[in-house]
Amino acid sequence: MECGSTLIEFVFSIFLFQKFCFCQAMLVSKYLKTSVIVENESVRIEPMFTDPVIHNQECSQLCTRDYGCRKYMVTTDITTHDKSCYRYSDGENCVASQSELSNKESVFYRKLKQSDGTHCVNPVGYYGTNCEYIIKDCYNGKDYNFKGLSLSYVKPTNKIFEVLCDFNNGMTNIQVRRSDSVEVNFNRTWNDYVNGFGNTHSEYWLGLQNIFDLTNNGANFRLDIYLSGPGFSCGIQCSDFQLRRLQSKCIYSLQLRISSG
């Protein structure tokens, strides 16, 4: 087997597709070059491991051997040319602080699919022997033993998208606002509110169409709204939550029943 790497243009040159074949233990992973997002220190995603490396491919080899690694970033110090490899457990994009990226060049790749031969280990939300299936929502993820709070892919109908899942209680977060992150502008157009916007690692709105797909798959949903700040917190729960779409496909109607608050 010949080992090496190939680089192929993908999506109008914005993304690059990179495939590595490693002969040891027959481990094969596919990686997609994606974005590095600069965030405040409190919001940055903590890497599982940080290792010095000689070249970029060494970092991809470390991530491939580590089933818990789902993305990696390589930084190169502009002055010393020293390289560091950061390995992360979830998420589509790399979220790093300004101090991590200062005076450095960086590249970031996320792992597309990886199976250990019996079940899917990457990415979060995929399951099956060869990662051929995707959970419908975060509650569905509990059926396949996904754990904790994690960014995950879901596929309620035909579209795959990323959400913040709390697999402990099956909660799918459709909107998150927080004051300690780089602010996302919520003063947006109607099309933005239909399609969704923001960053799933910090502030985002999932989008009316995505929420419609999630709540029209035959299950019963409850909408939980929580607000918190220094010295206060409050919340309300609404049962029988469903988003409906009228025939025009441009108008959505909300159905819910306030059950506690």
Residue by residue, pLDDT tens for the chain (261 residues) are 333 333 222 222 122 233 333 334 445 678 888 888 888 877 777 888 999 999 999 999 999 889 889 899 999 999 999 999 999 988 887 888 888 888 999 999 988 888 888 888 888 999 999 889 999 999 999 888 898 999 999 999 999 999 999 999 999 999 999 888 888 999 999 999 999 999 888 899 999 999 999 988 777 888 898 888 888 889 888 888 888 877 666 677 777 666 665
CATH 3.90.215.10 residue ranges for the chain: 134-260
The pLDDT, as a whole number, for residue 22 is 37
Q: What is the CATH number of domain 134-260?
A: 3.90.215.10
The one-letter amino acid at 40? N
Bridge pairing between strands 94-97 and 36-39: parallel
The pLDDT, as a whole number, for residue 250 is 67
Distance CA 249, CA 234 (A): 34
The pLDDT, as a whole number, for residue 167 is 93
The pLDDT, as a whole number, for residue 7 is 29
Q: What is the DSSP letter of 48?
A: S
Residues sharing a CB contact under 8 Å with residue 197, sequence separation 6 or more, in sequence order: 184, 188, 204, 205, 207
The pLDDT, as a whole number, for residue 258 is 67
**Taking CA 209 as the corner, what is the angle to CA 89 and CA 251, rounded to the nearest 5 degrees?**
160
